[in-house]
Structures are given as C-alpha cells and as structure tokens.
Structure 1
Amino acid sequence: MSGYDAHKAFFAPAVASAAIWKLIVGFLVASAVYLLLNNLFFSTLFNILGPEYGSFYEDLLTGKTPMAMFLLLGSFGLMIVGIAVVTRLIHRRPVSGLIGPVNLAVPQFIAVVRILVIIGAVTFLLPPWNFGTPFVSNMPLGQWLVLLPFSLVFVLVQVSAEEIVFRGYVQQQLAARFKSPLIWMVLPSSLFALGHYLPDQAGENAIVIALWAGVFGMLMADLTARAGSLGPAIAVHFCNNVTAILIASMPDDLSGLALYLVPFSMEDTEALRAWLPVDFGIMFVSWLAARLAIRR
C-alpha cells in the first residue's frame, strides 16, 4: 500500500531478528520484567509506609488521589524498562528504534497535538456542554493548575509505554516477518484490547470497552505505518488520556488528577453505553485529524 511506504523504514531495524519465537519470548520476558519490577516497587513502597497507610493501598486500586495517580501512571515506565531489556538482549538493538527517528517523531507529535487541541477547543465551545447534567468539581482549579505540568508528564509516560510496546515492539516485529496488515495491525490491537478487558470494573460494558480499545489500536497502527514513527500515535493517545484522566474522569476510576467528574460511574451501564458512540466518533475524528496533520 503506497500510504504505508514510511512503514518499511520504521520496521527495518526489526528485520534482522524477525523470528516469531523471538517475539513470543521477548513479549513474555518483557511482561515478566515489568510485573517483577512493578511488584518490587510497590512492595517496597508499602513496606516503607507501614500498615498504618492501609488506606493508601485502597487509593492506589482506584487512583483517587494525585499521589496515587502519579505512582500508577509512573509505574508504566517500568514497562519501557522491560521492553528495553528485551530489545537489547534478544534482538540486539536499542529500544529507541521502537519509536522511530526522533527528528521525525517529535515534529509529528507536535503537529498532531496542535490540531487535536484546536479540535478539542472547538468541541468544548459547541453544545452539548456536559453529559446531560453538569460536571461535578473534583479539584480546585488552582491546585489542578499547579499539578498540571507534572500530570502531563506522567500521562505522557503512560501512553508512551503502551505505544512502545504495542505499536512499537509488537508491530515492528510482526511487520518485519509478515506483509499483511491483517497480522501486524490486528494482532497487536487484539492484545491491546485484551489488556483493556476489565469485567470487574466495567461490568456489562467490558466487551464494548475492549472493542473500543481494539479499534483504537488498529487506528494507531495505521497512523504509525503512515507516519514511520510513533509520534502521531503517542500524540492521539496522549490527548485522549489527558481528556479522560486530567479533565473529566469517572468518579470511581482514576479520578485523582481530574478537574471534573462526569455525572456517571463505570457501574452506570446504560449511561456509559449511551456515550460510547460519542467516544467512537471522537476517536475517528482524532484519527482523521492526525492523518491530515502528518500528510506530506
């Protein structure tokens, strides 16, 4: 496909170690390193804090406080460590190659963020201005603004880690071995969707939310193949999560850094399902806008 010409250069570093067994072993090793480091980090933290901070453990499960959110989002950096170990020891190449050329990724990231901010501002000014009822204030504006620079950095760490794993490592390794987008686009997106299947939290909407994540993954795979870097995918993912985590979050899930809370929770099946088509629409508009921003 002519639109994917840049993809060849993107996955070129993976060609020398494109054996499927290396991808499978690499993914398992990276997952094990991440889980090990994650458990070690939080175990050490709880041992230092002591049993009197039991409520802090509950905060971490739901992300109800700014500190809990910083720790949860920052822990995704350990995912990058796991992938870095794998790319160096198994594939004999640097982890930076999973992002693509920096002089390409950074300008593309900036261009996509710029256009999505403009679209977001226009959307904010147009009706409807809420989810049927007014947003609930979650944090004083002054405190939110003070935390905002740090919040943005931690969200960037979180989304970059996920993109490096799924659209970087897995997509590159599969594309270096298989030509068909049905493999290098669909398989990483299916893994991404599986990671977002949370029936205990989402209840009846768990499958729909996982489907949303799968479609999102395929659109980000398309962007990456067209751009030749992770810049646009990270930008779209970043703007999406800034909206969902920092601006208007659900009251029962990762709300510690949000300025507002939406007027329904994960348990409100009908209310959440009613807004999922809107989310799908925003996702497609963001993807189209990003494609426009990187058009050369």
Structure 2
Amino acid sequence: MLKTLFSFDYSAHARFVAPARERSELWRLIVGLALATAVIMLCSPLLWQFLSYVMSEEGHQALYDDFETFLLPQSTLVLLYSFGLVWIAVAAVVIVLHLRRPETLIGSPTIAFLQAKFVVVALLLVSAALIVLPPYRFEPALVPGLSFARWAGFLLPALVAVFIQTSAEEVLFRGYIQQQLAARFNSPFVWMITPSLLFGLAHYAPQSYGSNAWLVVIWATVFGVLAADLTARSGTLGPAIAMHFVNNIAALLVIAPQGEMSGLALFHYPFDASDEAAVRALLPIDFAMMLVTWLAARLALRR
C-alpha cells in the first residue's frame, strides 16, 4: 500500500494533456491569460449592474458597503459566485484561441466525477476521525458565528458557491495553465511549479495578513503543488477540485477567522487574519492538515 500511496506514476497525465498539444505555443497561453483577465474585468461591473436590478436599493447598498470585509453572508456568497466569471473566461479562451472544447480542461467528466466522489468520502472520513479523536476541544476556544438555523438556511447556496469558486480556480491553474505548460514542456518542475507559484502569489494579501502574507503565499503554493500532483496522478481535475472543495468548506463555512470572509461560518476563531501571532501559530496545523488530506486523497486514488 505504501508503494502505491507514494507512487509518482504520472502516465494518466499524458491523456489529460493530450487535447492541449495541438496548439501549445507559449504565446497562446500568455495571450489566453491576458484575454481571460480582460473578460473577467469587463464582466465584473455587469454582475453588479445585474444585482442592482434584482435587489432592493437597501440590499444592494448593504452588499456594496460590505464588499471589502465580507462580513455579511450575502456578500460572501456574491464573491464566491463571481468566480463563475473565471469559468466563463477560461472556457471562451479555450474555444476561441485553442479551438478545443472546454470540458477538455477537466479530463473525462465521468472519471473525474467518480474520482472526486472517492476523494470527498476519504476526506470526510478523515474529518470524522479528527472529531472523534482527542483533543476534544479547540484551543483557543471557538466563538459562535451564524446561528445554526441561519447557517443551515445558507448551506445549500453556500456549498454551490464554494464549488463554483474552487472548481474555477482548479480549471484555471491546474486545468488551463498546467495543461498548456505540460503540452510544451516535459519537466514536472515547469508544469507543476509555475502554476503553483502563480496560485500562491494570487493569495498575497499583506493588507489582510501583515507580515504573514508570504507565509500564506508559501502555504498556497504548496497546496497548488499537491493539487497538481493529484491531477497528474489521476488524469483529471476531479481529485484536485474535491480536495480544494473540502478544504474551503472547512475554512469558509465551518470555522473561519473573525473579520474578512467570515460571513458564512458557523464558528469563528477568536482572532482575525491581521492577528499575526495567532495566524502564525495556526499555520503549522494547517500545513499538517493539508498533507493529511493530500495523503488521504492519494490513498483514495490507489490502483
């Protein structure tokens, strides 16, 4: 089992990358990323325009006022759903610039779904074990977030929103960028590390994390490498999306730091992201959990 668990047989990755090989010029990737960014920037104001038509003036103003802190569940939902623009932009780029179908960014949809299901089950079992095993309380003690009734009311749209957000990020970084680089370069150091570094830098937020900002970048980069490994091992985006999805459910819907992006959480840590000492103390635990979930996902994919 250990030999299978730590196998780095990436033969399935060749099938995943195959649709990108015909038009794998670097200029297409660079232009594609620029076009995707332009589409997102052009469409974002349209989203706000749409909300202004379907919402009351008071509700729209409340969202607008909260759009820097995301303390309201509604504004957090809008942010997460807005990642659908990433899906639309990348799909458009693939169709227009690479002349291939958007579903090729995922791999075989049937296999991706089955692999994702196995990984989600494995990660839920790991989470259940962590709840059952000691220690039986969080240190420092958690504080309540949303009431359970209100949290349950938001749960279904929040799960859909988190899925849209996590799948969009995986489609961009592990789908489009990883595929295009792997179609051009054989070295895993290029097609694993480059998208992961970009993913990490996308999480650079010194205004939120202070001196921990680069530690968060390192955390996200390592997460990106592990997601790239799952993608190369499985030949689809299913496992990476599943790992990302379960991780973000825990971080956004179950327990979140107080303050920014805490609007949908059932519980809060007794500190916010700007508490540098508290966040720094939590990061090693997050790193350990990330490795455990990656190993559990790999175990679910053994063959």
Task: Give TM class, smaller chain.
Answer: over 0.9
> Matches of 2:84 and 2:31 in 1, distance apart?
21
**Stretches of 4+ aligned residues off by more than 4 angstroms:** 46-53
> Matches of 1:52 and 1:228 in 2, distance apart?
44
> Matches of 2:87 and 2:32 in 1, distance apart?
13
Cα drift, residue 61 of structure 1: 1.8
% identical aligned pairs: 45
For the structure 1 residues 127 and 59, does the alpha-carbon distance in structure 2 shift closer, same or farther, using more than 3 Å as the test? Answer: farther
> Matches of 2:158 and 2:137 in 1, distance apart?
23
Cα drift, residue 2 of structure 1: 6.1
Cα drift, residue 257 of structure 1: 1.0
The answer to whether the 8 Å contact 1:131/1:262 transfers is no
Q: What is the aligned partner in structure 2 of residue 24 from structure 1? A: 30
Over residues 110-144 of structure 1, what are the superposed CA-to-partner deviations in whole Å (9 max), with x where a residue is unaligned? 00000100101111223334442321111111221
Q: What is the aligned partner in structure 2 of residue 282 from structure 1? A: 289
> Matches of 2:13 and 2:197 in 1, distance apart?
20
TM-score (norm 2): 0.93
Query: Does residue 1:213 correspond to 2:220, yes or no?
Result: yes
Cα drift, residue 280 of structure 1: 0.3
Over residues 26-64 of structure 1, what are the superposed CA-to-partner deviations in whole Å (9 max), with x where a residue is unaligned? 011011111211132125535875588544223222221
The answer for unaligned runs of 5 or more in structure 1 is none
The answer to whether the 8 Å contact 2:8/2:233 transfers is no
Q: Which amino acid aligns with 2:47?
A: F
The answer to whether the 8 Å contact 1:131/1:263 transfers is no
Question: Once superposed, what is the RMSD of the aligned Cα atoms?
Answer: 1.6
For the structure 1 residues 52 and 102, does the alpha-carbon distance in structure 2 shift closer, same or farther, using more than 3 Å as the test? Answer: closer
TM-score (norm 1): 0.96
Query: Does residue 1:63 correspond to 2:70, yes or no?
Result: yes
Q: 2:111 aligns with which of 80, 104, 107?
A: 104
Q: Between Structure 1 and Structure 2, how many residues are aligned?
A: 296
For the structure 1 residues 199 and 130, does the alpha-carbon distance in structure 2 shift closer, same or farther, using more than 3 Å as the test? Answer: farther
Query: Does residue 1:4 correspond to 2:18, yes or no?
Result: no
The answer for unaligned runs of 5 or more in structure 2 is 1-6
Q: Which amino acid aligns with 2:301?
A: I
> Matches of 2:77 and 2:32 in 1, distance apart?
28
Over residues 165-218 of structure 1, what are the superposed CA-to-partner deviations in whole Å (9 max), with x where a residue is unaligned? 000000000000000011000000011011000011111110000110000001
Q: What is the aligned partner in structure 2 of residue 225 from structure 1? A: 232
The answer to whether the 8 Å contact 1:62/1:254 transfers is yes
